[in-house]
Amino acid sequence: MSQEIRNLEPKQLWNKFADLNAVPRPSKKEERVIAFMKKFGEDLGLPTIVDEVGNVIITKPASKGMENRKTVVLQSHLDMVHQKNADTNFDFDTQGIEMYVDGDWVKAKGTTLGADNGIGVATIMAVLESDTIEHPVIEALFTIDEETGMTGAMGLKGGVLKGDILLNLDTEDDDEIGVGCAGGIDITAIKKYQEENTPSNMVGYTIEIKGLNGGHSGMDIIKGLGNANIFMNRLLFQGYEKYGLRISTIKGGSLRNAIPRESFAIVVVSKTNQAAFEIAMATAITAIKKEYATLEANLEINIVTTSLPEKVMEIDAQEVTIKAIYATFNGVYRMSPDIEGLVETSNNIARVTIANGTAEVLCLTRSSVESGKMDLAHKISCALDLGGFEVELSGSYPGWTPNMESSILKVMENLYVKMNNEQAKVAACHAGLECGILGTNYPDMEMISFGPNIRGAHSPDERAQISSIQKYWKYFLEVLKATPVK
C-alpha cells in the first residue's frame, strides 16, 4: 500500500479507505469486512449490531448543538466488484487492493479499486471516528452483497432504523444529486448438450477477445461500449455458417453487473476450410475494430492455432445455441420519454460459458419502469427458451421513485449552488441503488444519493478523482450541518 494514499487530503477519509482496502471483501464473501466493521464500531464505544443477514449498523449520538436535527442514516455497501486483467496475478480472497496515485486519480494495479462503494464506507467511518465534525444523530448502515443481489438491503427489517433521512453515498458524479434509480432482474439460462469426439482432419484454434473497456452495466450501458460475448458470438456464427466451425469451449465475461471485457474460445475447423476461414476471420475482425475504433481503441482479437481438443459440442445443439445468443438483446432497449438522457430499460449479456456438456448464459436486465423490466426479461427468456435453454428469472428488485418535494433535497440543492456557483444535476440513474429496496420497509424516509467522481467502476480501469473527493467531502460536511430540524 503506497503511503502517498494516506497523505492525500482529506486524510480522515483516505486513511479509512486504505484501512478498508486492506480487507478482502468480495460480494457474498464479506465475513472479514463485517468483522472489521463490527470491531471498528465497538472500538469507538458506539452501539454496534450485525443483523441476521450481515448488515452492520453503528449509531452515534448528535454532536453538541445538533440534538434537535432529524436523524440521518448514512448508507454504503461493504462489498466490491472483483475484476482483474487477464495478465494480473492477484487473489481477491486473500490480498488487499494495491493502490497508487496517478496525477489527480487514485487507481489500482490491474484490478478494480473498490472506490465503489469504498469511498462511501470510508466517508461514514471518518464521521463516526471524528470528535470535531458537526452532525445530527447518525445511524451508519453498512449493507452487504449490493453488487450481486442486494441481499443486504432486501434482508434489512423494518423498524430497525429510526432515521428520517437516508444519505446513500453511492453516486459516481460529484455534480449530481440522485433521486431515483432503476430496478433489475437476473436472467439465468442453462442447457445440457451432448459432446462428440472431435472429427478427424480438423485444426484447432483459440479465439481471444480482450482489451475492451468494460464498465458498469447500468451507468455505462448508454456509451455503446463493446461486449466481448457479443463479439465472440458474431465470429462463431460466421465461422459456423460458412466454414463449419465447431465449438469446444467458451469462457466469456464474469459478473452480471460488469460489461464483459474478455472472452476466450477453443474451436475447430476442417483443414480443407482452414485458409478460407483464416481470411474470413481476419476480415471480420477488421470490421469489428473499425466499427468500434472510437470507443474501443485497445481492443484485441487474436485467432491462433492450438492443439486439437478431444471433444466438441454436438452440431445441432451448437447451431441453436449460437442463434439463441445472437437473438438475445444486449444494450439500451428504451430511453426514458420523461427524463432526457436517462436509459429506461437495458440488458447486459454478462457471461457466456460452454464446457463439459453445459452451456450457460447470464444476463442482468434493468429498468426504471417495472413493466418495462419484465417485458424485456420475457423477450430475452423467449429467445433463449427457443434455443433449448431452461431459463430462470430471479433476484428481482424494485426501482426508486423520485420524491422531488423532500426537505433534504431542497437543502442539498441550495447548498450546492452556494458552494459551487452552479446548479447540481438532480437526476435518476440507470443503476441499481439500494434506496428503492430500503424504501419498501421505510416508505416515509427521505432518500438522496450522491458521491465523488468515480470512473470505470466494475472494471480494472476503476479510478477515483482526488480533487473531486475533496469537493465532495466539503459538501458532505455542510450537508450534515444543514440537516433539517425535527
Told to judge if 146 belongs to the known catalytic residues of this protein, a careful annotator would answer yes
Q: What angle do CA 114, 433, 24 make, to 5 degrees?
A: 25
Q: Are 372 and 344 in contact (CB under 8 A)?
A: yes
Task: State how far the Cα of 207 lies from the Cα of 125, in Å rounded to an integer.
Answer: 46
| Beta-strand pair 463-465/105-108 | antiparallel
- 140, three cell numbers: 451508519
Task: State how far the Cα of 254 lies from the Cα of 242, in Å rounded to an integer.
Answer: 29
Q: Please report where in the chains the cell 467502476 appears, as a residue.
A: 457
Backbone φ, ψ for residue 417 (5° rounding): -65, -45
Cβ-based neighbour number of residue 9 at 10 Å: 12
Q: Are 485 and 173 in contact (CB under 8 A)?
A: no
Task: State how far the Cα of 204 lies from the Cα of 201, in Å rounded to an integer.
Answer: 10
Q: Are 188 and 394 in contact (CB under 8 A)?
A: yes
- What's the maximum distance between 2 C-alpha atoms anywhere in the chain? 84
Q: Which one is catalytic: 30, 79, 186, 446?
A: 79
Told to judge if 79 belongs to the known catalytic residues of this protein, a careful annotator would answer yes
Task: State how far the Cα of 411 lies from the Cα of 478, in Å rounded to an integer.
Answer: 10
Cβ-based neighbour number of residue 276 at 10 Å: 12
Contacts of 410 (CB under 8 A, 6+ apart): none
Q: What is the separation, in whole angstroms, between the first and last Cα of the chain?
A: 43
Q: Please report where in the chains the cell 437516508 appears, as a residue.
A: 166
| Beta-strand pair 358-367/311-313 | unpaired
Going by C-alpha positions, the residue among 33, 5, 6 that lies closest to residue 20 is 33
Q: Are 10 and 126 in contact (CB under 8 A)?
A: yes
Task: State how far the Cα of 196 lies from the Cα of 472, in Å rounded to an integer.
Answer: 58
| Beta-strand pair 138-143/331-335 | unpaired
Task: State how far the Cα of 128 lies from the Cα of 16, in Å rounded to an integer.
Answer: 11
Q: How many CA atoms lie within 13 A of 279 on its CB side?
A: 5
**Cis (ω within 30 of 0) for the bond into 117?**
yes
Q: Which one is catalytic: 145, 146, 262, 296?
A: 146
Q: Are 450 and 415 in contact (CB under 8 A)?
A: no
- What are the catalytic residues? 79, 146
